Amino acid sequence: SQTIHQWPATLVQPVGSPLSLECTVEGTSNPNLYWYRQAAGRGLQLLFYSVGIGQISSEVPQNLSASRPQDRQFILSSKKLLLSDSGFYLCAWSRTYPAGSYNSPLHFGNGTRLTVT
Amino acid sequence: GQNIDQPTEMTATEGAIVQINCTYQTSGFNGLFWYQQHAGEAPTFLSYNVLDGLEEKGRFSSFLSRSKGYSYLLLKELQMKDSASYLCAVVGYQKVTFGTGTKLQVIP
């Protein structure tokens, strides 16, 4: 079976500090990978998605970046955190199917609650 | 781009039926997901619609009308544990866009 691991579960960081959140998927190959952010009381905002190693699409201009150094590893980074970066960060994966065919649901990790102080 | 609308909050009584609506406008449509999210937790998958009509899965059903850009999630025999946010998500090309969610409160 497939599992997704995301860590850490909670993080408190000062403004201006760097950030690195890691996500790994087990039990599948060549998954689509996603980073979402959910601010308090808000919906899920898509930050980045990746359809393969080294292929990253950014949805929102910001001080965050993402990388996919291995097939099942997805990393979210920042060089300098802002107060507005606080939120609940969720990594997700889905299977890859040919375009126009079935779409796999997204399966989420448990999330990282980031508080920037 | 994509625009997804859901009611912000709803309240329903235990044992009753509730319908949560979702309307969307999208430049490319490849299906629609419904997710449940309890407070402080990650969303969990409920249903997937790509063709018009009703998909039933136990107490939960989901309906889609592509021509109207409309979907609903129907929850029957409500239980207290169904109190959660319900997220409508539209599948575009290679990415999934979520609505802001409907917070459902089930009362005794």
The pLDDT tens digits of the residues spanning B40-76 come to 899 999 999 989 999 998 999 999 999 999 999 999 9
Instruction: Please choose, from the candidates A1, A6, A32, the residue with its C-alpha nearest in 3D space to the C-alpha of residue A91.
Output: A6
Average pLDDT value over all residues in chain B: 93
Instruction: Please choose, from the candidates A108, A97, A13, the residue with its C-alpha nearest in 3D space to the C-alpha of residue A51.
Output: A97
Question: Is B43 in CB contact (< 8 Å) with chain A?
Answer: yes
For residue A101, the model assigns a pLDDT of 54
Those residues whose C-beta lies under 8 Å from the C-beta of residue A86, and which sit 6 or more positions away, are A39, A114, A115, A116
Residue B28 clears pLDDT 90, i.e. is over it: no
The list of chain A residues with pLDDT below 50 reads none
Out of B30, B95, B101, the one facing A46 most closely (by C-beta) is B95
For residue A95, the model assigns a pLDDT of 84
Taking an 8 Å cut-off on Cβ atoms, the answer to whether A99 and B101 are in contact is no
Could you give the CA distance from residue A11 to residue A112 in angstroms, rounded to a whole number?
Answer: 7
For residue B49, the model assigns a pLDDT of 93
Question: Is A99 in CB contact (< 8 Å) with chain B?
Answer: yes
Out of A57, A90, A103, the one facing B42 most closely (by C-beta) is A90
Question: Is A46 in CB contact (< 8 Å) with chain B?
Answer: yes
For residue A43, the model assigns a pLDDT of 85
For residue A98, the model assigns a pLDDT of 56
DSSP states of A11-64 as a string?
EEE-TT--EEEEEEEES-SS-EEEEEEE-TT--EEEEEEEEETTEEEESS-SSE
Mean pLDDT for the stretch of residues B15-31: 93
Residue of A108, A113, A114 to mutate, interface with B, max B Cβ within 10 Å = A108
Reported as a pLDDT band with limits 50, 70 and 90, residue B26 is: confident
Instruction: Give pLDDT tens digits for A50-70.
Output: 989 989 988 886 789 999 999
Q: Which residues of A touch B89 (CB under 8 A)?
A: 44, 106
User: Which residue has better confidence, A6 or B3?
Assistant: A6
